[in-house]
C-alpha cells in the first residue's frame, strides 16, 4: 500500500484539522495541570472517533481499522494523551465487545461508548501480572444465583479515573493461570468498584491512569464476555488490535518531533548559518525521516491485514515495536537538535520526549513484542 484511498484521506484530513486547531493549542497546559480532556473526548465522540470501526447500527462510524489508525496518528500528533484515551476506548473496549459480545451487550454498551457518551477502560494488568498476563490473581467466584463475584486489584489502567465501563479479567482458579481466565463487562456504579491510587506519570499526563480495586464486586451473569475460561483468548485477540493503535500513537509523536526538528534546524543560526547546513544535523533528520516512513508502512499494513480478516499477531507486534522505538529515536534526536532549549519545558519537544517513552511499555513491552515476533518466525 503506497497511497491511502480517497475516503481515508478525507478522514485523515478531518482528524488533522481538529487535532491542530482544537487539541494542540491546549496540550502543554493540560500536561502541566494533569487535566483530563473531557470536552475534547466529547467532541471526538460527536465526530465518530470514539467508536470508529463499530458498525453504525451500534452507534459507531462503521469505518475500517486503517481509517482509525490514520486518524489516531493525527490526534496523537497534537497530544498523545488525547490519543491514548481514544485508542483505549476504540481498540481495547469497543473492539472486544464488538467481537465477543452478545447482541444485548452490544446494544447496551457499544452505543454509548462509540458515541462518546461513556468512556471505557481495559482492566488486565495487576501488580504481579504485567507482561505475564496469564498470572491473573483477581479472583472470580460464581454465586448461587449465577452471578459472578470479583475480588482483586488492577493497576496502570488507562482511563480508570474517568471510565464508566471496564473490560475486566479475573481468574476462576489462579493455579490454572490463563486456562481459567474470564472476561467481564464491569460498570462503575457496581457496589464494590473503587478507583484507587491515581498515578503521577512521566508522560501522557492529561490521560488518567489508576488502580481499580474490586471488593466483593457482583457482576450479573449476562455481563460475562464470551465464555467462562475463554477470557485469555479475548485478551490476546484484543491486544493484537491495541498494538496497532499504540503504533499509530507513536507515529504521531514521532512525526511531530520530526516536524519541529526540521523547522528549528532551518531557523537556528550558529557560526553564521542555519544548523540545517551542517551534515551532522542533516544525517539526524535523514535517519528520522527514513524510520518514520518504515514505521508508517508497517503500521498501515498491519491495519490493512486486520481489515481483511487475516491474522495480525506478528505484524501488529512488528508495527508496535518499530513505531514505538522510532518515537523514542525521533524525540531523542529532536531534543538534541534543539540543544539546551529542548531540555526546557518552554519547548514542545520536551513533552514529546516524555510522552514517547510509554509507547515501549504499555500493551506489551518491546521485549514482549520481540518474543511474539520470534515465535511466529520460528513456527
Q: CA-CA distances (angstroms) from residue 378 to 18, 120, 302, 317, 374?
A: 44, 36, 20, 15, 6
Say which of 199, 315, 348, 363 is annotated catalytic: 363
> CA dihedral defined by 162, 164, 169, 171, rounded to 10 degrees?
110
- Rounded to whole angstroms, the Cα distance separating 167 from 157 reads 11
- Supply the DSSP symbol for 88: I
Return the ∠ at Cα 92 (arms to 89 and 93), rounded to 5°: 60
Return the ∠ at Cα 206 (arms to 82 and 77), rounded to 5°: 35
Burial (CB count <10 Å: 0-12, 13-18, 19+), residue 92? buried
Question: In what helix (H) or strand (E) does residue 150 lie, and over which residues does it extend?
Answer: strand 148-158
* Long-range own/partner contacts, residues 318-322 (CB < 8 A, 24 or more apart): 318/369, 318/373, 319/243, 319/244, 319/247, 319/295, 320/243, 320/244, 320/246, 320/247, 320/250, 320/359, 320/363, 320/364, 320/369, 321/366, 321/369, 321/370, 321/373, 322/247, 322/291, 322/294, 322/295, 322/298
Contact criterion met (CB below 8 Å) for 249 and 87: yes
For 278, what's the count of Cα atoms within 13 Å in the CB-facing half-sphere?
A: 15
- Is there a catalytic annotation at residue 33? no
Query: Helix axis angle, 279-307 relative to 65-78, nearest 10°?
Result: 150
- Rounded to whole angstroms, the Cα distance separating 323 from 316 reads 10
Helix (H, G, I), strand (E, B) or coil at 338: helix
- Rounded to whole angstroms, the Cα distance separating 342 from 233 reads 44
Phi, psi for 166 (deg, rounded to 5):
-125, 120
Catalytic residue numbers read 363
Amino acid at each position: 500500500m503506497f497511497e491511502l484511498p480517497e475516503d481515508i484521506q478525507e478522514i485523515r484530513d478531518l482528524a488533522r484539522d481538529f487535532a491542530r486547531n482544537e487539541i494542540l493549542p491546549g496540550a502543554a497546559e493540560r500536561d502541566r495541570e494533569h487535566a483530563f480532556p473531557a470536552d475534547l473526548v466529547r467532541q471526538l465522540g460527536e465526530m465518530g472517533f470514539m467508536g470508529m470501526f463499530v458498525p453504525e447500527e451500534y452507534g459507531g462510524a462503521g469505518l475500517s481499522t486503517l481509517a482509525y489508525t490514520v486518524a489516531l496518528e493525527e490526534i496523537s500528533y497534537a497530544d498523545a494523551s488525547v490519543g491514548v484515551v481514544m485508542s483505549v476506548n476504540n481498540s481495547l473496549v469497543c473492539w472486544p465487545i464488538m467481537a465477543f459480545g452478545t447482541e444485548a451487550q452490544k446494544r447496551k454498551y457499544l452505543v454509548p461508548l462509540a458515541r462518546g457518551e461513556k468512556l471505557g477502560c481495559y482492566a488486565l494488568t495487576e501488580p504481579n501480572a504485567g507482561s505475564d498476563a496469564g498470572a491473573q490473581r483477581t479472583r472470580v467466584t460464581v454465586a448461587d444465583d449465577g452471578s459472578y463475584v470479583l475480588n482483586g486489584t488492577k493497576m496502570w489502567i488507562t482511563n480508570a479515573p474517568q471510565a464508566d465501563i471496564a473490560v475486566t479479567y479475573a481468574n476462576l482458579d489462579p493455579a490454572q493461570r490463563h486456562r481459567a481466565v474470564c472476561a467481564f463487562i464491569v460498570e462503575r456504579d457496581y457496589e464494590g468498584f473503587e478507583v484507587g491510587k491515581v498515578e503521577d506519570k512521566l508522560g501522557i499526563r492529561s490521560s488518567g491512569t489508576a488502580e481499580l480495586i474490586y471488593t466483593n464486586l457482583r457482576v450479573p451473569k449476562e455481563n460475562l464476555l464470551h465464555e467462562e475460561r475463554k477470557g485469555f483468548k479475548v485478551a490476546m485477540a484484543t491486544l493484537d488490535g491495541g498494538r496497532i493503535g499504540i503504533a499509530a500513537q507513536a507515529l504521531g509523536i514521532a512525526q511531530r518531533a520530526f516536524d519541529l526538528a526540521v523547522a528549528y534546524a532551518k531557523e537556528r543560526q550558529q557560526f553564521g548559518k542555519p544548523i540545517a547546513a551542517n551534515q551532522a544535523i542533516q544525517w539526524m533528520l535523514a535517519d528520522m525521516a527514513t524510520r518514520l516512513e518504515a514505521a508508517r508502512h508497517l503500521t498501515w499494513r498491519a491495519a490493512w491485514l486486520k481489515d481483511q480478516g487475516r491474522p495480525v499477531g506478528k505484524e501488529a507486534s512488528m508495527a508496535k515495536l518499530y513505531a514505538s522505538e522510532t518515537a523514542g529515536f525521533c524525540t531523542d534526536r529532536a531534543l538534541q537538535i534543539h540543544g539546551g532549549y529542548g531540555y526546557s519545558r518552554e519547548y514542545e519537544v520536551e513533552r514529546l520526549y516524555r510522552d514517547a517513552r510509554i509507547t515501549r511499555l504499555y500493551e506489551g513491552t518491546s521485549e514482549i513484542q520481540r518474543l511474539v515476533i520470534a515465535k511466529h518466525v520460528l513456527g
